[in-house]
Amino acid sequence: MKIITIDLEEWYHQLGYPSENKYENSRHLEKRIHLSLDYILETLDEHNIKTCFFTVAQIAQQQPKLIKKIITNGHRLGLHGLYHYHPEKIKRKQLTENIRTAKNIIEDTSGTKIIANRNPGFIMNPDLLWIMDILLDLKIRIDCSICTAKTSHGGWYKYPVRKAHLIKTKHGNIKEFPLNNCFFNSIANTGGGYFRLLPLKLLKHLSKKPNYLMSYFHPRDFDQRLPIYSNFSILRNFRMQYGLQGNRKKLQDWVKYVKPIGLMEANEQIDWSKQVSISTDSLIKKTTTK
């Protein structure tokens, strides 16, 4: 099972960029999602894929026409934060309120129900597992936040399960679809910068091998005139720019070869009664974040 998902965020929705720090900080910044969204929708439509767009609520609020276009094309929406914040930098009470507010904004704008959650930056660890109960309280039964690789934001590379499974909380079960295809346990190669960096032949090999694979892409990954980030290092800007010119064709070739499906179809195909179930209590006791 190979799954493709989209993180609907603007070019400035980067952890560490000024727009992360305050909800109002991005209002003056150029909006660029529309420059890549049609390409993404056309590529998915060409391969008859309907999937989940994990949406930053700020986009739904500021660019509602984009949300309507995604829904009109038969896709569904998931949560991706209120304004793409680092969840560990916000107090628990405020983070809980942000999640609720983000859900309301996206649902009111789209006229549809949120089906899943993905924390910004795939940031999920034992200290944040309480979020699962917030999701259940909001009737969100799917999470895609866990990354089983070392990342610049942490990652959970000792996480014990690398396929779709159930996380058992005191209030019910969450269906977890982790980001799992990790090169040397340190490279999440099925999306973002590493997808642009690695050769297509290697990506095909790495993507074809596992029985389960979760991939993710952003509109900025296909923005051929992506702005320079003023407060990022030369190296980080290089990483953001590398491979952009050929990435549209690269994705098309990868999708044609791998034949991924959308998140909703994957959820329907899985017999959840036969999947591994792991409790939040055992995760807290048995694993650590490095």
Q: What is the Cα–Cα distance from 25 to 31, expressed in whole angstroms?
A: 13
Q: What's the pTM?
A: 0.93
Q: Calculate mean pLDDT across residues 165-172.
A: 95
* Domains identified in the chain and CATH numbers: 2-286 (3.20.20.370)
DSSP state of 227: P
Question: Using one digit for the tens of pLDDT, what is the confidence trace for 91-125?
Answer: 999 999 999 999 999 999 999 999 999 999 999 99
Percent of the chain with pLDDT over 70: 91
Ranges of H-type helices in 31-171: 34-46, 57-62, 64-72, 92-110, 131-137
Q: Calculate mean pLDDT across residues 198-217.
A: 92
Tell me: pLDDT of 186 over 70. no
pLDDT at 290: 43
176 Cβ contact list (under 8 Å, min separation 6)? 142, 143, 144, 146, 161, 164, 165, 166, 167
CB 167 within 8 A of CB 174: yes
End-to-end Cα, the chain, rounded Å: 28
CB 104 within 8 A of CB 111: no
Per the model's pLDDT, the better-predicted residue between 141 and 22 turns out to be: 141
Q: What is the Cα–Cα distance from 117 to 135, expressed in whole angstroms?
A: 8
- The side-by-side arrangement of strands in the sheet containing 277-279 is 142-143, 172-176, 165-169, 277-279
Q: What is the Cα–Cα distance from 175 to 167, expressed in whole angstroms?
A: 6
Tell me: pLDDT of 48 over 80. yes
CB 226 within 8 A of CB 273: no
Q: Which of 28-32, 195-199, 228-232 reaches the highest mean pLDDT?
A: 195-199
As beta bridge partners, residue 261 has 3
Tell me: pLDDT of 54 over 90. yes
Q: Of 88-92, 206-210, 267-271, give the lowest mean pLDDT range.
A: 206-210
Q: Calculate mean pLDDT across residues 139-167.
A: 89
